[in-house]
Amino acid sequence: MNQVYKRILLVDDEENSLAVLSDILTHDGYDVSTARNGLEALNYLRSKDVELIITDLNMPEMNGLVFLRELNLIHPAINVILVSAFGEVDSYLQAMTLGAFEFIIKPVDYAELKKAIIKIVQKS
């Protein structure tokens, strides 16, 4: 399948999560970049474009919800999938209100993540 969404930015403070997810998505044909927190991701986005961001909720420096708010100010059209080890209803509702496309609970079910990415591709 020729993906519409080639460039993905992964944002997570857990090195292992970044490495595993990056390997899986790269194997699926995506061009994957990584950032260890929201501030690093925003700095990256000042000079590079991506079509999809997959970000953790709980990170130092800037959590996923604050990152999503900041992202909406500079790149409101980028699709975001938020990932969290905690299934907090309040965080889920805030993420959806801020425009997140999907909210996935860790440990990430890669089949579920791939379905979400395909939904994003199909809606565009």
Domain ranges in the chain are: 7-123
What's the confidence (pLDDT) of residue 124? 63
Task: Pick the closest to residue 98 from 123, 117, 70 (CA basis).
Answer: 70
Q: Say whether pLDDT at 1 is over 50.
A: no
pLDDT digits (tens, 9 = 90+) for 21-62: 999 999 988 999 999 999 999 999 999 999 899 999 999 889
Provide the b/e sequence for 82-118 (b: ≥16 CB within 10 Å). bbbeeeeeebbebbeebebbbbbebebeeeebeebbe
Question: pLDDT tens, 97-120?
Answer: 999 999 999 888 999 999 999 888
CATH of segment(s) 7-123: 3.40.50.2300
